[in-house]
Amino acid sequence: MSGRPVLEVGGTHVLASRVDTATWRMCPQSAHRLPLDGNGTADEILATLATCARKLGPMPSQTLAVAMPGPFDYGTGIGQFSGVGKFDALAGVDVGQGLRARLAQPPARVAFVNDAGAFGLGEWLAGAARGYQRAVAITLGTGVGSAFVAAGRIVSRGPSVPPDGHVYRLLVGGRPLEDTVSRRAIVAAYRSLAPAAAITGLDVREVAARALGGDENARRVFSEAFHQLGKALAPWLTRFGAQILVVGGGLTASWSLMEPPFRRGLGPMPGELVLVKSADPAAATAAGAAWHSRGEAGRSLAGHARSGPQRTLTSAGPSGR
């Protein structure tokens, strides 16, 4: 089968696809998605990943690119999950070997990459950040993922990025950012304002629906959370010299609620930063994982940079005009 094989692993699903490395887009009809129980046993999780990977066909001479959430040792393929509420059963497990052992014609190599990093690379490569030299991508869902990308290279060290390039390590009012911006944080904040809403099964989707329906407590929760997110990110975007900020993840389903307070929190950004919602996070993550698996994610390729328009820090205004 043509195209580079990719697995995207999420907390509730796994997506297999093949990526055309000429266009960096998913090959038609190659995508297959399965539900995944992040609280299952190691064998159950690996069995689901392998079932999905089989949809990609034989891979004996290929590299399988796998985008995984952290904490994970991406060099060795060993899980480091412990007490994070997902994939705890994979702590200490060699996921690459587990996958290969469950496939009749396994790949020659398994290359792991952080899922948010893959998303950022993919947006730079073929998505909203194509043509920009310095892009930041964040994913908002059960947590806050991030990638600082400079000409196709993930920057995770130095004074221009947070520790290891992870914005989830930032503090808001002395507390971790994810205590303010995440599914659990938004639901908890809403319940604290409206105790009657503390019903089993309440999720951020219901909070968003109530906000859109005129519930002032729900609107207040979204406004505060994303205003604080903007304030936390603003100094790092400035230090990095970001030209564009691309946002993906499940919480962007409520973009109309989150974008206005997010922009207010960012404030006036030097260089007229572009803020945009990702058009296709899954496609971007697949492209970024495929790109990374070629061993070229740490290099700036002049050919790719020339293939798109070269945008500068003054390419567009904060509102996207």
Other C-beta atoms lying within 10 Å of the C-beta of residue 94: 17
Whether residue 320 lies inside any domain: the answer is no
Q: Confidence class of residue 93 from pLDDT cuts 50, 70 and 90?
A: very high
- Same domain, yes or no: 176 and 252: yes
Whether residue 295 lies inside any domain: the answer is no
Most confident of 70-74, 117-121, 312-316: 117-121
Q: Are strands 32-35 and 13-20 parallel, antiparallel or unpaired?
A: antiparallel
Whether residue 314 lies inside any domain: the answer is no
- Same domain, yes or no: 10 and 150: no
104: CB partners within 8 A, 6+ apart? 58
- The pLDDT assigned to 85 comes to 73
Whether residue 321 lies inside any domain: the answer is no
- Same domain, yes or no: 102 and 123: no
- pLDDT > 70? residue 320: no
Task: Return mean pLDDT, the chain.
Answer: 88
CA distance 140 to 71: 16
The domain of 86 spans: 4-107
- Same domain, yes or no: 75 and 176: no
Whether residue 291 lies inside any domain: the answer is no
**In 184-221, which positions are buried (b, 16+ CB within 10 angstroms) versus exposed (e)?**
ebbbebbbeebeebeeeeeebeebbebbeeebebbbeb
- Same domain, yes or no: 84 and 159: no
Counted domains in the chain: 2
CA distance 300 to 317: 26
Contact 117, 292 (CB under 8 A): yes
- Which of the listed residues 45, 77, 107 is the one where a domain comes to its end? 107
- Same domain, yes or no: 172 and 260: yes
- Which of the listed residues 73, 88, 107 is the one where a domain comes to its end? 107
Work out the percent of the chain whose per-residue pLDDT is above 70.
90
- Same domain, yes or no: 101 and 136: no
Other C-beta atoms lying within 10 Å of the C-beta of residue 238: 16
- Same domain, yes or no: 40 and 100: yes
CA distance 252 to 238: 23
CATH code for the domain of 39: 3.30.420.40
- Same domain, yes or no: 88 and 53: yes
- Over the stretch 153-209, which tens digit does the pLDDT of each residue have? 899 999 999 999 999 999 999 999 999 999 889 999 999 988 776 666 688 999 999
| 78 membership: H or E segment, kind and range | strand 78-79
- pTM summary value: 0.87
- Same domain, yes or no: 101 and 142: no
- Same domain, yes or no: 28 and 125: no
- Same domain, yes or no: 177 and 210: yes
